[in-house]
Structure 1
Amino acid sequence: MRIRLIMGKTCGEEAPAAPLPFGGETPQSPSLAIFPPFPARVDKSEPCASDEAMLLPLPSLTRRLNAMAEEPGFGAEALRAELQRSHPAMLNQILEDAECPERFAAWGKSSNLERDADRELVHPALLCALCGLAGLEPPHNSVTNAGLLHTYGYLLSNRRTPFGFKRERWTQPVLETGLNLRPGLLLPVPRSGTLLGNVTALCQAVWKPGSADEPSNLTADGSPLLRSGATLIEQPETSSVRLLTRLIPFANPKTRTARAALFHAWEKGENLQFITVFPVAPAALEKLKAQFQNGPSLVKPRFNSAIPGLGPEGDPGQRIVAPATPP
């Protein structure tokens, strides 16, 4: 199926399958530095949420919905009614995405449990209602569609983590600015398209460059999308699945809170599934870069992902680093 992701395009057109990244070859150990140099200067001005994002009553909306989720009988219809009353633009996005199930099909599964803590990131009843509204199966053992969870689920999460609220990746234009994306592309209510559709388009362009589905209107000035970055490939011995983590340095470092974008996915044969994308703070970036090394390793699911055939305890395997290539 051809994935049409930006508003104004038709869902569900047939197209040839696009080539997957890395093919079946094993990248060789790079002889040069695997990370391109990061800009030396960082603007001290903190990026503020765009006007559109600041107008959204997300904090009050999430508090209200989380309180409603505690009531018996809360479900998709109650969520629909409340969003219709208090945030119809978000409701319209979810309903539009429900009409294009291939957007959700591009994503793998993710756990709703906070890493290293046995508590949910999104209220279970609220997440179940979101799944119903989007036409998806309810979560099973806290595992659900990663695309839904990481977009609308995180927007409606009221859980503060050690890294802040999960919704901040969408309410602050850090990814847009750092990757030179079209302004308003990744807002809670984008200026065109839907949040899930636009995030899926971005992941499609990063992991499947040159495919027939790649949109041409992602960047602010029509320039090629920044997608070059070192990629960590993790291959467990007991499975043919491969975990893919790419770090793309920001070209426009107008924030002191993030220096790169992280994209995570997994592939098995010709099946490629997106898991997440988020900006990476400098301290976390250094820890991640230290893991980009070739050699044997215990391969575990990353970033709350639920990987078929790979349990949370992990399996012995190999790490392979594919160096950054010229854009």
Structure 2
Amino acid sequence: MTSTTALDDAAARALDDPAAAISSLPWLEASLADDAAAGRFAAWGRSTVIDENVGEAVIPRPLFDELHERAGLEATWPVGNAGLLHVYGYLLSTTPTPYGLKRERWLSGELERACGLEVGALLPWAGTETLLARATAVASALLARADAVTEVAEGRTARIALGTPAPGGTAALAYAVDGRIVTIFPVADPAALRAGLGAPRLRWNAA
């Protein structure tokens, strides 16, 4: 069992010793190895760690480098594998954003509810599959929806999919560029998001 306190401790340690930080969370260490061996990161595209809302990196460079080394992936700061960063990197992010900490999508239960999943279905340390495997399955199902929006930006094809809103109104959003997943997160007001999309562009830290 893990707690947010353990994540906080690991995030603090990651500033100086990212290898020790990851090793302090055995489920994370095992997940990275399992996902790398299974080639699961290939389903995900590229993302920058410089958040578009706050204009700064949401994880430190040493952690960025350590995560990619563990995953067996080449990356040049600040652009790396979106699955690695949005799923595992965000868990160790302590950078405040207008929507709270990045990790909350995996911890609060809001995304689970929006996806119609059981409580705890997306907890990072729960279940028999890695969080990346579960996130990939959920995002892929959303992106397969007939009502997903396709747009072309900077010569690249992106897909925006919003799920059916949960009773509270929150919907799950999945985003992909050139056929590869970039992110998945809960949206409190999906109608407002649709109305505010504006002209096509690369979104949600895609690179």
**What TM-score do the two structures reach when normalised by structure 2?**
0.89
Give yes or no for the alignment of 1:201 onto 2:116: no
Q: Do structure 1's residue 245 and structure 2's residue 157 form an aligned pair?
A: no
SS at match of 1:199: helix
5+ long unaligned stretches in structure 1: 1-51, 70-77, 209-226, 307-327
Matched, 1:125 2:62: yes
Q: Match for residue 49 of structure 2?
A: 112
Tell me if the contact between 1:106 and 1:274 (Cα under 8 Å) persists in the aligned partners. Answer: yes
Report the alpha carbon displacement of residue 299 of structure 1 after superposing the two structures with TM.
2.5
CA contact 1:263–1:276 (8 Å) conserved in 2: yes
Shift of 1:89: 1.6
Identity rate, percent = 35
Contact 2:142–2:173 under 8 Å retained in 1: no
Question: In the TM superposition, what is the alpha-carbon distance from 1:287 to its structure 2 partner?
Answer: 3.2
**Shift, 1:190, TM fit:** 2.3
Q: 1:116 to 1:83 in 2, by over 3 A?
A: closer
The structure-2 alpha-carbon separation of the partners of 1:235 and 1:174, relative to structure 1 and needing over 3 Å to count, comes to same
SS at match of 2:202: coil
Q: 1:1-327 counterparts in 2 under 5 A? A: 54=3, 57-66=6-15, 68-69=16-17, 79=19, 81-84=20-23, 86-101=24-39, 103-137=40-74, 139-208=75-144, 230-236=147-153, 239=155, 241-253=156-168, 259-267=170-178, 272-282=179-189, 285-291=190-196, 298-306=199-207
Asked whether the 8 Å contact 1:180–1:252 carries over to 2, the reply is: no
What is the aligned-residue RMSD (CA, Å)?
Answer: 2.2
Equivalent pair of 2:114/2:163 in contact (CA under 8 Å): no
Secondary structure in 1 matching 2:161: strand
Give CA-to-partner distance per residue, 1:42-74, whole Å, 9 cap, x none.
xxxxxxxxxx564661122211222x15xxxxx
Q: 1:262 to 1:53 in 2, by over 3 A?
A: farther
Whether the aligned pair in 1 keeps the contact of 2:143 and 2:175 (CA below 8 Å) is: no
- Is the Cα–Cα contact under 8 Å of residues 53 and 171 in structure 1 kept in the other structure? no
Pick closer, same or farther for the CA change 1:182–1:53 going to 2, 3 Å: farther
Q: Which runs of 5+ in 2 are unaligned?
A: none
Q: Which secondary structure does the structure 1 equivalent of 2:177 belong to?
A: strand
Cα separation, 1, equivalents of 2:165 and 2:25: 32
Cα drift, residue 186 of structure 1:
1.0
Please tell me whether the aligned partners of residues 65 and 126 of structure 1 are also in contact (alpha carbons under 8 angstroms).
Answer: yes
Q: Which has the higher contact order (CA 8 A, sep 6+)?
A: 1
Q: Going by fraction, where is helix more abundant, 1 or 2?
A: 2
Q: Tell me, in whole angstroms, the C-alpha distance in 2 between the residues paired with 1:192 and 1:55.
A: 20
Q: What's the CA shift for 1:288?
A: 1.4
Q: Give the CA deviation at 1:130.
A: 0.5
**CA–CA distance in 2 between the matches of 1:165 and 1:55?**
12
